[in-house]
Structure formats: structure tokens, C-alpha cells
Amino acid sequence: MSLKWIDSQDIALELLEKFPDVEPQTIRFTDLREWILLLDAFADDPEHCNERVLEAVQACWIDER
């Protein structure tokens, strides 16, 4: 399964697994974007990311934590 920017919930679960000690409400969006791009399952165009997408991922990550 490859992740796209629209897969906020699945991306959040991957981030939670990869970075279990991170408080998602404290992460900068520039770091969040880079971490998403580093996920093995992520396969989308880096240019299709925007602040709304990152906010959605961050909100899901906070909910999952």
C-alpha cells in the first residue's frame, strides 16, 4: 500500500509508529513534511503538500496519540 497526501489517518499511524516519543502538537510543519516524505510507504508528489494537508495529518496524529 502506498500513501498519498490525502491519507491523513494512515500517515498519522505510520508517524506514530516511527516517532513514538514525539509530541505531535509541538512539531513544525517543515519537519512534519520531511518526516512524511521519509516514510517508506509514502509515494506522492512532494509538491502537492500544503498547510491544510499537514494540519489534517497533525490532527490525526494527535487523536491517535
For 20-53, the pLDDT digits (tens) are 999 999 999 999 999 999 999 999 999 999 999 9
User: Which pLDDT value is given to residue 64?
Assistant: 93
Q: Assess if residue 3 is contained within a domain.
A: no
User: Which pLDDT value is given to residue 52?
Assistant: 97
Q: Assess if residue 49 is contained within a domain.
A: yes
Q: For residue 37, what are the domain limits?
A: 8-64
Number of domains in the chain: 1
Q: Assess if residue 2 is contained within a domain.
A: no
d(CA 61, CA 23): 9
Inform me whether the pLDDT recorded for 1 exceeds 80.
Answer: no
The domain that holds 25 is classified in CATH as 1.10.10.600
pTM of the model: 0.94
Inform me whether the pLDDT recorded for 12 exceeds 90.
Answer: yes
